[in-house]
Amino acid sequence: MLAEVKRIDHWGIVAGVIKDLDIAKLINEEIGTDIQEILTTGDVVAGMIINGLGFASRPLMLSPQFFENKALNLLIKPGVRAEHFNRHRIGRALDVISKFGAEKLFHLVALSACATEGVNTRFAHADTTSYSLTGAYDSKEIDKNGEVIEQAINITYGYSKENRPDLKQIIQEMVTSQDGGIPFATKTLSGNASDSKILRERAEALMNEFDRSGSRGLVADSKLYSKETASTLNKINFITRVPSTIKLERETIIKALMQNDDWQVISDGYKCQEFYVNCYEIEDQRWLVFYSTQAYERSKKTLEKNVKKEEEKIQKELLSLHARSFGCEGDANKELELIAKKWKYHDVDKSSISEIKHYTARGRPTANAFHETRYKIQAKFIFSQTAFDQALDQDSCFILATNFSQKSLSAVETLTAYKGQDFTEKGFAFLKKDEFFTSSLNLEKPGRIEALLMIMVLSLLIYSIAQRRLRKKLETHNQAIPNQLKKPVKNPTMRWIFQLFEGVNFIIIKINNAEKAFVEGFNDLRQKIINLLGGHAVKIYHEAWSKG
């Protein structure tokens, strides 16, 4: 009797969702297949997604090592072996994707996935991030005929969000849905591209693409709102935060605070006032001033720290001022005014000036000795509760600008749509985890890096769809899953679900010429999760388990 043990763990869930969405099939239909290759490009991408969501922190060159103990017949297709995922095959697949267009391919696959899952893409949330890279990169590549191939992206120095100005970088743009944070557009740009410029130049193009996905509005942070973007914003539907650097923003908040009776409570912890303003000649725009109790508590702590810092600074400034002398009283008072003008949360409480005589001759001065009169100033400061309260009220408010009408989008809906921006930020945080593919970005060709980044976002898409599907099923069936503290929850993270599936193995027992296959380590909780997820995951786990 021979027993062969292959791991399935949570990869059966990942593979099941990949198969449900026909990821490999769609990629092969767009890119084509090579009959000489055992693995199609779609198979390679599926394998890379499984590898990426294995959180094993292995570079691409060690993919065969990752797959050597996995049930590839179930996860990919029959006949696939670990050594098929060698770096040469992966490199060729990345080259093919780069040649076809990574951005184009992702958009096609993602829109199909969103349609299959019924994802609501009414609002598109756009943001950017950067990846720091080591090594030397050339923006030019020589083909087999000796001709220069210009690369779409330039790996170079730029403003580093990771505080590594010594490293070259690339910029990635990603767009996610408000419904589940599903990414459905991504683009890689050169390392010296400006965040603001990207959103300004891409806004109209993004909305043209989103027309096919049913999106009606672009949601972004304050980088989108500027004088340079005004012409674009007049052509699209948008929701964006108004930058605090705009003078009218502060004036509008002050106006709202003065009209204290006009606040409308819209949800727990939020109240709102609406204004129609003329800023940058953007047509039909509404400014919604939101007051947040959560922002109030955060701002209060920050301001209290700032008050203490300013107090320490003032003490040093006045100590230095007290040691100086001036030619006249006016100069002394003027210097105090200049210092106090910079104080935000304190005022001058008291001040006094004293005369000091400086004699030119040495020794004890006579009654008629010549002297110069100098002046010294003493001052005390006091905390300004009024200034503190005003700053606290202002910092507790923010403004969202939109050109959606009141009828088509209420204040609550506007706020909810904007909060979905958090999905994109969390998506980037997911992609940058140390155990993900980030360590593999140091490839030789910029085109391969672009393709790899696209596959990383595809991995996020699979993860997000699986999480969204499970949460919706739990809500629909009024069921729950125990979290890490054994408490029932209806919104578990997929990362926790993956951990719950550790120790699930696919076992093949051979006795003479007969084989028996079954899944080891399956239990009622795992069966419940798989039944809720449905689709191909059931075939990978449940059917084999039933046979056992």
Q: What is the DSSP string of 487-501?
A: -EESS--HHHHHHHT
Q: What is the pLDDT of residue 142?
A: 58
For residue 405 the two structure tokens come to 């009408």
Are 81 and 68 contacting, i.e. CB atoms less than 8 angstroms apart? no
Q: What is the pLDDT of residue 85?
A: 92
Which pairing describes strands 371-383 and 217-220: parallel, antiparallel, or unpaired? unpaired
- Residue 228: the pLDDT is 83
Using the 8-state DSSP alphabet, how is residue 541 labeled? I
Contact 543, 18 (CB under 8 A): no
d(CA 105, CA 126): 18
Can you read off the two tokens belonging to residue 38?
């055992």
Which pLDDT score is estimated for 360?
A: 64
Name the residue ranges covered by the structural domains of the chain.
7-227+419-476, 241-403, 478-547
CA distance 205 to 184: 14
Contact 405, 239 (CB under 8 A): no
Q: Is the pTM of this model over 0.85?
A: no
Q: Are 91 and 448 in contact (CB under 8 A)?
A: yes
pLDDT of residue 210: 59
- Are the C-beta atoms of 177 and 193 separated by less than 8 Å? no
CA proximity to 496, closest of 531, 536, 537, 525: 525
Averages of pLDDT over runs of 10 residues in the chain (548 residues) are: 80 96 96 89 94 73 83 90 91 93 93 92 84 67 58 73 77 88 87 68 65 70 86 87 93 93 89 94 93 94 96 95 92 94 94 82 65 87 94 94 92 91 85 65 77 92 96 95 94 94 84 76 91 93 56
Rg (CA), the chain: 32
d(CA 63, CA 58): 7
- On whether the CB atoms of residues 502 and 9 are closer than 8 A, the answer is yes
pLDDT value at position 547? 45
Quote the tokens at residue 265: 């409570």
Query: Tokens 């670990």, residue?
Result: 82
